[in-house]
C-alpha cells in the first residue's frame, strides 16, 4: 500500500495500493515480461505536495523481492529524516515480502520536480515515479504561468547489457516493433505555453531530449530555479530533472518528442533506437505524420556542454570564496574481474568482467557486516 499524506496531515490518496507484478506486453516483439510496479502503474503514482509539507508514504511490499523506496535521488534534503531516505542497507533494511514501512519527511524550503524510485538490485528500472512540489499558496512561479503541466519520465536500462528500449512515460513508441499503438501523447492548444517536468529515470543512460521544430526554455534544474535558457535540445543525466517551457507556436501538426542516448564513452555497446512521443496540436489528425525531432548525434559532447555551460541560478548563491585546501578527485567507471558463480548473468561487461565505479581509484566493496550495525 502506498498512501500519501500531505497538506498538513490531510490524507490525499487512500486507495489500496501495492507493489506487485503486472504484465508488460509488447515492449518489444519478442519480449513479454512481468515487471514490479506500484499500484499496477508504470510509471508509478505521482506524489503531489507543497513546499514545507510533511509527506507520509506507507509502502507495503507484495512483490517477491526485497525492496526500499528512495525519495531523495535528486536532492530532497531529508533534514533530520535520513531514516526515510531509502538506500537499502545504508539507512534501512529492505522491506521484505509482506512487510511494510512508513516513510516520513518534510520538504523544508524545497519545491520543484523530484522523483522516487526503488532500491535493491535494479528494481528501479520499473519502480519509479514523480514527486511534484508546488510553491506555497500565494507564491507564483518566477516565469509565465503555464496553460498546462505535464510530467515526462524518460527511462531505459543501462549498459551492460544494452537496454531493450527507451521509454517515454512507459511507452517505447513507433520506432520499436509492435509499439506503433503505444505512444505517449500530449494534446496542445495552439498559442498556449506548457510546462514539461522532465525526469530521467534511466539506470545509467544519459539522454538527449528534443521536440521537433520547437524551442525549449529551461526554468528549473534539479528542483532549483534557473535563469531562463532557451535551446533546441536538452541533456539529462540519470536521476536529473529539468523543467522546461514550450510554446505551441508552430503550424498545426503532430510533432515528435524524442529521446536518444548521449554516450561519450568508447567501446561500450548501448541502445540507439530513438523513443518517440507526440506533441500534437488540436486540429492535427490521427493520420498525420509526425515531424521528426532533431536529436544530436550520440557522442555530441558539444551539444551537451553548450546547454550545461549556459545554465545560471535564478537567485544569487552564496559560496565560500576563500579556499583553504585543494582536493583532486577523479571519478571513474571501470571493468573489474568478475568473481560471480553465475557469469552469464553477472559478468556481462567487456572481457567477462563487471562494471565498478571508483573515486580516486578506490571502489566500494560491500562489507560482510551490515553497515547499519557497523
Question: Quick one: 79 or 227, whose CB is closer to Cu ion?
Answer: 79
Positive or negative, the CA dihedral 347, 353, 356, 362 is positive
Can you give the chain as a three-state secondary structure string? Answer: CEEEEECCCEEEECCCCCEEEEEEEEEECCEEEEEEEECCECCCCCEEEECCCEEEEEEEECCCCCEEEECCCCCCCCCCCHHHCCCECCCECCECCCCEEEEEEECCCCCEEEEEEEECCCHHHCCEEEEEEECCCCCCCCCCCCCEEEEEEEEECCCCCCCCCEEECCECCCCCCCCCCCCCEEEECCCCEEEEEEEECCCCCEEEEEECCCCEEEEEECCEEEEEEEECCEEECCCCEEEEEEECCCCCCEEEEEEEEECCCCCCCCCCCCEEEEEEEECECCCCCEECCCCCCCCCHHHHHHHHHHCCECCCCCCCCCCCCCCCCCEEEEEECCCCCCHHHHCCEHHHEEEEEEECCECCCCCCCCCCCC
Label the pairing between strands 128-134 and 47-50.
parallel
Q: Of the two residues 76 and 165, which places its CB atom closer to Cu ion in the complex?
A: 76
CB of 103 to Cu ion, least distance (A): 13
Q: Given the complex with Cu ion, which of 75 and 143 has the nearer CB atom? A: 75
CB of 71 to Cu ion, least distance (A): 8
Give the shortest CB-83-to-Cu ion separation in angstroms: 15
In angstroms, what is the minimal distance from the CB of 57 to Cu ion? 14
Compute the radius of gyration of the chain from its Cα atoms: 21
Q: What residue ranges bind Cu ion (CB under 5 A)? A: 70, 73
Q: Kindly tell me which of 115 and 208 has the beta carbon lying closer to Cu ion.
A: 115
Decide whether 198 or 277 has the Cβ nearer to Cu ion: 198
- Residue 119 Cβ vs Cu ion, minimum distance, rounded to whole Å: 6
Judge residue 116's burial from the number of C-beta atoms within 10 Å of its C-beta, 0-12 exposed, 13-18 middle, 19 or more buried. buried
**Least Å distance between CB 124 and Cu ion?**
7
Tell me the residue nearest to Cu ion as measured from the CB.
70
| Residue with Cβ nearer Cu ion (198 or 245) | 198
Q: Residue 1 or 203: which CB sits closer to Cu ion? A: 203
- Cβ distance to Cu ion smaller for residue 70 or 214: 70
Minimum distance, C-beta of residue 72 to Cu ion, in the bound complex (Å): 7
**Smallest separation, CB 240 to Cu ion (Å):** 13
List the grid coordinates of 334.
571501470
Nearer to Cu ion, 124 or 167 (CB): 124
Q: First CA to last CA across the chain, in angstroms?
A: 31
CB closer to Cu ion, 201 vs 303 = 201
Please state whether beta strands 166-168 and 148-156 pair in parallel, antiparallel, or not at all (unpaired).
Answer: antiparallel
- State in angstroms the smallest separation of the CB of 285 from Cu ion: 42
Q: How far is the CB of 198 from Cu ion (least distance, A)?
A: 18
Amino acid at each position: 500500500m502506498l498512501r500519501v499524506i500531505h497538506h498538513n496531515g490531510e490524507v490525499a490518496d487512500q486507495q489500496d495500493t501495492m507493489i506487485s507484478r503486472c504484465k508488460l506486453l509488447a515492449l518489444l516483439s519478442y519480449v513479454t515480461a512481468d515487471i514490479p510496479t506500484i499500484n499496477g502503474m508504470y510509471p508509478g503514482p505521482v506524489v503531489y505536495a507543497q513546499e514545507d509539507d510533511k509527506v507520509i508514504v506507507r509502502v507495503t511490499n507484495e512483490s517477491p523481492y526485497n525492496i526500499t523506496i528512495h525519495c531523495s535521488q535528486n536532492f530532497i534534503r531529508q533534514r533530520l529524516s535520513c531514516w526515510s531516505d531509502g538506500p537499502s542497507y545504508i539507512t534501512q533494511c529492505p522491506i521484505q515480502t509482506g512487510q511494510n514501512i512508513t516513510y516520513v519527511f518534510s520538504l523544508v524550503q524545497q519545491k520543484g520536480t523530484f522523483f522516487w524510485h526503488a532500491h535493491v538490485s535494479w528494481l528501479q528500472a520499473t519502480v519509479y515515479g514523480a514527486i511534484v512540489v508546488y510553491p506555497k499558496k500565494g507564491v507564483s512561479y518566477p516565469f509565465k504561468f503555464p496553460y498546462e503541466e505535464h510530467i515526462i519520465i524518460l527511462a531505459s536500462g543501462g549498459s551492460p547489457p544494452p537496454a531493450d528500449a527507451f521509454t517515454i512515460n512507459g511507452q517505447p513508441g513507433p520506432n520499436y516493433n509492435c509499439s506503433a499503438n503505444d505512444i505517449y501523447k500530449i494534446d496542445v492548444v495552439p498559442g498556449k505555453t506548457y510546462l514539461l517536468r522532465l525526469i530521467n529515470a534511466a539506470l545509467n543512460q544519459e539522454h538527449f531530449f528534443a521536440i521537433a521544430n520547437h524551442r525549449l526554455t529551461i526554468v528549473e534544474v534539479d528542483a532549483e530555479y534557473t535563469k531562463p535558457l532557451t535551446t533546441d535540445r536538452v541533456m539529462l543525466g540519470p536521476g536529473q530533472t529539468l523543467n522546461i517551457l514550450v510554446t505551441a507556436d508552430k503550424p498545426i501538426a503532430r510533432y515528435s518528442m524524442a529521446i536518444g542516448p548521449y554516450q561519450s564513452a568508447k567501446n561500450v555497446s548501448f541502445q540507439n533506437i530513438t523513443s518517440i512521443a507526440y506533441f500534437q496540436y488540436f486540429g492535427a489528425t490521427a493520420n498525420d505524420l509526425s515531424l521528426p525531432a532533431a536529436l544530436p548525434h550520440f557522442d555530441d559532447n558539444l551539444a551537451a556542454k553548450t546547454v550545461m555551460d549556459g545554465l545560471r541560478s535564478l537567485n544569487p548563491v552564496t559560496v565560500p570564496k576563500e579556499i583553504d585546501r585543494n582536493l583532486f578527485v577523479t571519478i571513474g567507471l571501470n571493468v573489474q574481474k568478475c568473481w560471480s558463480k553465475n557469469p552469464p548473468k553477472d559478468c556481462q561487461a567487456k572481457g567477462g568482467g563487471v562494471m565498478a565505479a571508483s573515486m580516486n581509484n578506490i571502489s566500494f566493496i560491500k562489507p560482510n557486516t551490515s553497515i547499519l550495525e557497523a
